[in-house]
Structure 1
Amino acid sequence: MKRSPRPFGRPADAQAGVTLIEALVALLIMSFGMLALVGLQGNMRRSADLAKQRSEAVRLAQQDLETIRSFSELVLPAEAAEHVRAFAQIADLKRVGAGDPESNASFTLNRVLAQRPGEPLSVQVTVSWEDRAGAIQQVIMGSFITPADPRLSGSLAIAPEGDPSRRPLGRHLTIPPTAKDLGDGHSVFKPPATSSGVAWVFNNLTGRIVKLCQLPDHGVGTDQITLEDVAAYCSTVSNSYLLSGAVRFSTGATASSEQALSPALPLSLAIITAGTSKPPAPPPHDCFSNAPLSGPVEMPEGVGYYCAVYPNLDGGAWTGRLILNGIALGHAGYRICRYSADYNGDETISNVEHPLDYVDVNGSLTRQNFLVVAGSQSCPAGRLPSPADGLFYDSKTVVHQEKL
């Protein structure tokens, strides 16, 4: 049977030649790719070796520095045990070994010590080695070592007491600044009150009220109270806390939480049962203020108040709501606001941030401030701190008391 000739296209042998050329070109391209992979693998291996060597060099340098720091005496005693090291022997300490025996490099350690009179010892440790490519690599670590008696480090195991922050006048932050330091770790403070001999003694470290005083001479000021007065007229109490702040007034046609300069009104303060579920009874307390007996009276700084709270819970904490009495509430009277905001940004109003109800308070609270506005006005929303504008506090207020 005859095969008919192909009507179109090239002969079969011509097509076979083209296919062979394409295969050779693909093989050439693949060969270049394989060569690139071989080079990449070589670089990766060298980088891995260098990383391992550098890690070992860092370990050797750190080990040598820690060996230098591990002295237990400043000067070696006459009959010291074999393992005892002294600061004075640092220069004679042997260098650490040459690294991991399974490493593919040999390490050389060099230590340089320098010390000037009255200054710490300067230490510089250099670890050198030759990498796979024959290049010299090195790691340099330095430190300062003070010739301090190692026995002083035992003080680090002693837990700090009280508030670790910087203390005004060297005592707890919550103690009123006008309190008199008695010089025995305590301060005494006489709250503002008319015809009262009440005074409180604070522990300078914890800020707690530790003694209640009833002075026979009501005219004695805080600065006149002596240790002899405390011994004669003060009795010890436990778990007693201070609650203090200011009441400001902005009772004009426009309420302002920043420019609260309206005259002060007569008022009193009390702690009542909190509005929480199954709240405990309000704690015993004594509150004093410098509010006018009749008013209004110009008081640019507002009314300052101080309450001594005596917790009645087993855990030494108290729960309750602080309110202002003696101020007429309602649209024709006044509305009482409180300065309160999420100052620390944790999305909650904690006891120190002046909530409506205090819950489980186990310390003294200060700067629990109020603002009295006209009953027809809303509590000012205030502003965030803006030092450039002279505002250094969050002036936000919220409703605390109003007549519904």
Structure 2
Amino acid sequence: MPSFCNHPTARQRGFSLIEAAIAMAIMAFGMLAIIGLQGMLHQKADLGRQRSEATRLAEQQLEQLRSFNAISSGTGLVAWADMASGSDTPTGSNASFTRKWTVGGAVTDSYRPIQVDVTWADRASTTGAVTMNTVTLNSVIAKVDPALAGALNFPLPGNGTIKRPFNRNLNIPVKSLDLGGGQSAYQLANNFAVVFNNATGYVVMKCTFTIVSASQLSQCPNYNAYIVAGYVSMGGKKPPATIPATGLNLSQTTGTVSRGSTECIYGPAKDQNTGQPIPGYNYYLCVMTVNGANGTWAGTIQLTGMSSGSPPYLVCRYQYPASTGADNNMRNVQPYVAVNESLDQQNYVITGDANCSNLPGTVLHQSCTTANASGCPANPD
């Protein structure tokens, strides 16, 4: 009799055509994604290289504008005065760059703003349209004479640690004319000038004419003097509308000789850079002649013109805190005692307040609150 027993069938092996097709499709999509990513990475890397090159070109132009070697124009000079806007097309790169720089301000300004734009076309635009890219750098270039850089190597007088204007004593007025040979001249009036020793700040000669060069020094006799200089301003809660002081009186000083009308100057303070008056400030400078090379002077300097007592004014003196290297004379402590050097920044402020407490750092110098008050002379001596 025939047998009807079930026999196990062999297990199927391999992939069906449908499975293989799905796998191939997944691989194809993956490959396309990788290819697209690679293309995008290449595009971004190329754009990054172009942007770096554009930044380098912009920085190069900024440095070129900064590299002037003189302020005024001249043959063979790269001058501040010649700085101007412009454009060019740098070569030697894998893209076509256009560089444009704009110089703002005017030649007479202390500084000028600069803008540099570098533009190039994106070679890998996906839309077919030309895409422009731009890098912009902004900076400011100061009007500083490159020749002044040499001052960094100047030896300092007295082995000091402070850089001094024109490498001379700090008490010498900045506007003094450098004559060379360690001397500078300051003109107080048409018929009166003094010559300083640049290292000490002492007055060593007196000239009775307008001095313009060292060749005239042979006409100037030797002279022994120091200067005292500073500013007069208004302040406090009740400041005057204008500075009421009309000058200085030296009658309370001793040790000085041959005081005359041309030995003090007093008037509106001026900006050392522009020469324009500084509102609310007057400047004074007095030449204190002494007896001999080692002579000294002493006493009190008084402001004049407030003797009427109406309106009542106080003159407050800036008296600086005690510090190392500053003696009482330098601190503006008065009466001065045995002054044997030139003094600068001996400053005063005039107020209508009842006291000097509203003006930090000051002490009472003159009380001109009544008519003909003691210590308030009407006129210069």
Which TM-score band (shorter chain)? 0.3 to 0.5
TM-score where L is the length of structure 2? 0.47
Which structure shows the bigger proportion of residues in strand conformation? 2
